[in-house]
Each structure stands twice: as structure tokens, then as C-alpha cells.
């Protein structure tokens, strides 16, 4: 029963004890609660945890690898997670929000005249101008920072890194945002350069470390996602990223549409099915022999087992299911599937909690306490 799911995997040079990974998830919780949550997830038996949104520059949003406090927080997290026999990956990201252009809206946000969702829309409107107008010197400073941040991440105890292929990488990749006339814009090869340089910078600093790439795929028809790599352009991006040093791909839908597209609820018009983004993995699999991780709407152990057995993916990542029940892997491997709290993809307390600044929670939390 689910033998493949339980079997080890060589993931770019490190061995995962099974095929279950905690997908990158910004938890929005205080530091100590976050460590406790990730400890619970690690103790539930998954092979690796991806820490979402670790900033590559010293002053990005989120806990900084460059500050004493941030570095020691990551160090503690690594010790706690490793003590549970689980590995840790840092998702290195650079935001593409032009905060300077947003300052003028702050009074209206504070007064409640502009909602979170409206603010997201305003930020999205700025992305194209921001990445198109960014001086080349600044672009290179950011791509170089991926190497510096990766080095710090390894020093803090992470086992490997993931380049967040959405956010700034994704905006540079997309012809919808990137209208540059220099070497970073125009052809698909040029639009891939930002991501390629980010990966190369890590490879230069850390010759042997596994580098995963979160490959955010933009669906042409019907249109979903605005940043990331258009399906038809995958044959250009995937080999370029592989030559730059990527050792595995984590494949999902691109961002900068609605959040509920990349984190789809059960009644989503296009992505309601179990394993809703695996069709993108099928396309990537045709272009590389590197391990491919599927994510999105995965909750059913038997379904996951069959997808790995069929060779569509090599491992699975789950966000909301492991929030709903961190013990999912252990229960599956012990034949206790019936005891799993199955994520119903309601998005009420996970995405809803994050957006309401209450931190990520789950509708099952109360039930488990009672
Ligand atoms: C609350 C929440 C926070 C998330 N934060 C991140 C993040 O920081 N980085 C990222 O790449 N994806 C993030 N995601 C997306 C997940 O990694 C995943 O791709 C998505 O939730 C679909 O998988 P699922 O159906 O297993 O939840 C987040 C998802 C949720 C629900």
C-alpha cells in the first residue's frame, strides 16, 4: 500500500526518505508558533519542509538570513526539523512589488478605504513598469544576491535551496510584464536570463548543493496566471535552467492572477480536480530527466501513489493537506488512511487566516482539540 510514496528518492544528490514534501507556505505566525507548527509537520513523517519566501536581499519581507535574529531563528528551525528526521529547503525569493510606488496608498489602506484585495490589484498593476524600468545594475545585484542568500541558508542549516520562479523571476519571464529592450527582454531566451543568472549565482557559490526551481507555468487557454513561463515556452526555459544548475523542478500554476487560482478551492471553475496542476508536470517531464515534484490539490494517498508509479511525477508537495493533518504521511505509511483529516480545500482558515493577518490555521483545529 503506497509503497512508492514511502520509498526514498535521490533529489539532486540528497536522499529524501519518502516522496512527501511540505510545499512552501507562508504561515504568518509569530516566530515560536511557526517553529512549533513546522516541528509538528516534520514529526508527521514528511521527508522535507520547504520554508516559503526567504528573502534574497537583506531588507526583503520576511525573516532575514542576513540579520543576527533571523539567522539564529533559521538555525533553531533547522535543528528542530532535523531532530524529527526531516530535511529543510529554503525558498529564495525576491518580491516584485514596487513598495516605493505604493507609499501613496498607505493612508487609504490604514483608513480602510482600500481593501487587501484592492491593494494586491494595485501592486500587480505596478509590476510591469517596475521590472521593465529596473536598471541593469540593480537586476544584477538581485541575481547575485541569490548566491549570497543560498550560502547563508546552508550555513544556517538548510539542506538545499529552491529558487522561487514566480515573483521577480516570474515577472521577468513573462512577456505580459517584461517589456525590456535589453538582454533581459524580448525573446523567451532573454526573458529567462534573470532566472538563469539567479541559478548560476547559487551554483557558483555552492558547486554541489541541490537547486530546486519552482517552475510557475502560465496557461494560455483558458488564460490563467500572468507571470511565469507560458506553456509553449517551457521547451526554451527548462533546458536553460537545467544547464544553469537546476537539479529538480517543483511545478505549479503561475501567479499574478487571483490567489485562489494558485491555491484553488474545491469549487474552482478550472482547477477543482485532485492533482489539478499535474498536467503542467506532464509537459515538463517531456523536457527533462530531472526529478519533478507535483503540487496542487493533492490529498488522496492512492491517487498520489498512482501518479508516481505512472511516472508523471517523482514526489508530491502538499501545503493545505499537511496543515489540515501533519500526520498524513505517517498515517498513510502505517495503513491508517481512514484516520486522516482530509483537506476539503475550503481556504477558510489557511489562506483566509493569512489574508486576515491571523496566521494560517485550519477548520479541523478545533475538532482535534475537542
Ligand atoms: C496559506 C498559504 C501560503 C502559501 N505561501 C506560499 C509561499 O510562501 N510560497 C509559495 O511558493 N507558495 C505558497 N503557497 C502555495 C502552496 O505552496 C501550494 O502551491 C498551493 O497551496 C497548492 O497546493 P495545496 O493544494 O497542497 O495547498 C501558499 C499556500 C497557502 C495555502
The pLDDT of 256-271, averaged and rounded, is 92
Pocket flag, ligand 1, residue 90 (CB < 6 Å): no
Distance in Å, CA 298 to ligand 1 centroid: 12
Instruction: Look at residue 80 and tell me whether its pLDDT is greater than 90.
Output: yes
pLDDT tens-digit map of 30-44: 999 999 999 999 999
Distance between CA atoms of residues 29 and 301, nearest Å: 28
Pocket flag, ligand 1, residue 26 (CB < 6 Å): yes
The pLDDT of 236-250, averaged and rounded, is 98
Quote the mean pLDDT of the chain.
95
Pocket flag, ligand 1, residue 299 (CB < 6 Å): no
The pLDDT of 366-370, averaged and rounded, is 61
Which ligand 1 atom is at minimum distance from the Cα of 317? 26
Q: Which residue has the higher pLDDT, 228 or 121?
A: 228
pLDDT of residue 369: 57
**Distance set, CA 67 to CA 56, 156, 333 (Å):** 12, 12, 40
pLDDT tens-digit map of 38-76: 999 999 999 999 999 999 999 877 899 999 999 999 999
Distance in Å, CA 186 to ligand 1 centroid: 30
Among 20-29, 183-192, 253-262, which stretch is predicted with the lowest mean pLDDT?
253-262
Pocket flag, ligand 1, residue 214 (CB < 6 Å): yes
**Banded pLDDT at 370 (limits 50, 70, 90):** low
Distance in Å, CA 330 to ligand 1 centroid: 22
3-state secondary structure string, 93-154? Answer: ECCCCCHHHHHHHHHHHHCCCCCHHHHHHHHHHHHHHHHHHCCHHHHHHHHHHHHHHHHHHH
Instruction: Look at residue 367 and tell me whether its pLDDT is greater than 80.
Output: no
CATH 3.20.20.70 fits 9-369, yes or no: yes
In the chain, the percentage of residues whose pLDDT exceeds 70 is 99
Pocket flag, ligand 1, residue 23 (CB < 6 Å): yes
**Banded pLDDT at 172 (limits 50, 70, 90):** very high
Which ligand 1 atom is at minimum distance from the Cα of 252? 19
Residues whose CB falls within 8 Å of the CB of residue 149, separated by 6 or more in sequence, listed in order: 54, 55, 56, 57, 65, 66, 90, 92
Pocket flag, ligand 1, residue 169 (CB < 6 Å): no
Q: How many CA atoms lie within 13 A of 140 on its CB side?
A: 4
The pLDDT of 246-250, averaged and rounded, is 98
Residues whose CB falls within 8 Å of the CB of residue 116, separated by 6 or more in sequence, listed in order: 355
The pLDDT of 175-193, averaged and rounded, is 98
Residues acting as catalytic residues: 167
pLDDT of residue 97: 87
pLDDT of residue 366: 67
Instruction: Look at residue 215 and tell me whether its pLDDT is greater than 90.
Output: yes
Closest CA to 293 of 227, 249, 233: 249
**Distance set, CA 148 to CA 3, 144, 193 (Å):** 39, 7, 18
pLDDT of residue 61: 78
pLDDT tens-digit map of 318-359: 999 999 999 999 999 999 999 999 999 999 999 999 999 999
pLDDT of residue 166: 95
Domain chopping of the chain, boundaries: 9-369
Distance in Å, CA 155 to ligand 1 centroid: 26
Amino acid at each position: 500500500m503506497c509503497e512508492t510514496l514511502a520509498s526514498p528518492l535521490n533529489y539532486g544528490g540528497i536522499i529524501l526518505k519518502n516522496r512527501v514534501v511540505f510545499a512552501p507556505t507562508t504561515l504568518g505566525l509569530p516566530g515560536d508558533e511557526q517553529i512549533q507548527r513546522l516541528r509538528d509537520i516534520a514529526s508527521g513523517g514528511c521527508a522535507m519542509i520547504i520554508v516559503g519566501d526567504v528573502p534574497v536581499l537583506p531588507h526583503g519581507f520576511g525573516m532575514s538570513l542576513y540579520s543576527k535574529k533571523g539567522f539564529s531563528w533559521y538555525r533553531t528551525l533547522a535543528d528542530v526539523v532535523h531532530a524529527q528526521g526531516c530535511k529543510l529547503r529554503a525558498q529564495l525569493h525576491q518580491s516584485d512589488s514596487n513598495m516605493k510606488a505604493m507609499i501613496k496608498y498607505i493612508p487609504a489602506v490604514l483608513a480602510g478605504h482600500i481593501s487587501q484585495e484592492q491593494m494586491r490589484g494595485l501592486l500587480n498593476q505596478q509590476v510591469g513598469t517596475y521590472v521593465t524600468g529596473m536598471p541593469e545594475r540593480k537586476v544584477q545585484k538581485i541575481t547575485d544576491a541569490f548566491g549570497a542568500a543560498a550560502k547563508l541558508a546552508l550555513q544556517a542549516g538548510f539542506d538545499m535551496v529552491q529558487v522561487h520562479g514566480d515573483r521577480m523571476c516570474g515577472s521577468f519571464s513573462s512577456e505580459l510584464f517584461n517589456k525590456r529592450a535589453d538582454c533581459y527582454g524580448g525573446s523567451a531566451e532573454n526573458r529567462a536570463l534573470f532566472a538563469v543568472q539567479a541559478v548560476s549565482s547559487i551554483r557558483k557559490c555552492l558547486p554541489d548543493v541541490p537547486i530546486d526551481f519552482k517552475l510557475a507555468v502560465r496557461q494560455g487557454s483558458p488564460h490563467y496566471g500572468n507571470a511565469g513561463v507560458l506553456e509553449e515556452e517551457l521547451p526554451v526555459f527548462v533546458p536553460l535552467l537545467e544547464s544553469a544548475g537546476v537539479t529538480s523542478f517543483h511545478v505549479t500554476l503561475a501567479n499574478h492572477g487571483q490567489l485562489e487560482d494558485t491555491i484553488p478551492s474545491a469549487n474552482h471553475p478550472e482547477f477543482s480536480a485532485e492533482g489539478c496542476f499535474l498536467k503542467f508536470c506532464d509537459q515538463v517531464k517531456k523536457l527533462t530527466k530531472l526529478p519533478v515534484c507535483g503540487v496542487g490539490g493533492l490529498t488522496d494517498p492512492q491517487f498520489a501513489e498512482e501518479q508516481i508509479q505512472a511516472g508523471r511525477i517523482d514526489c508530491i508537495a502538499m501545503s493545505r493537506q499537511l496543515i489540515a493533518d501533519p500526520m498524513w504521511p505517517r498515517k498513510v505509511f502505517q495503513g491508517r488512511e481512514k484516520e486522516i483529516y482530509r483537506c476539503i480545500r475550503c481556504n477558510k482558515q489557511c489562506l483566509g487566516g493569512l489574508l486576515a493577518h491571523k496566521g494560517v490555521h485550519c477548520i479541523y483545529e478545533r475538532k482535534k482539540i475537542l
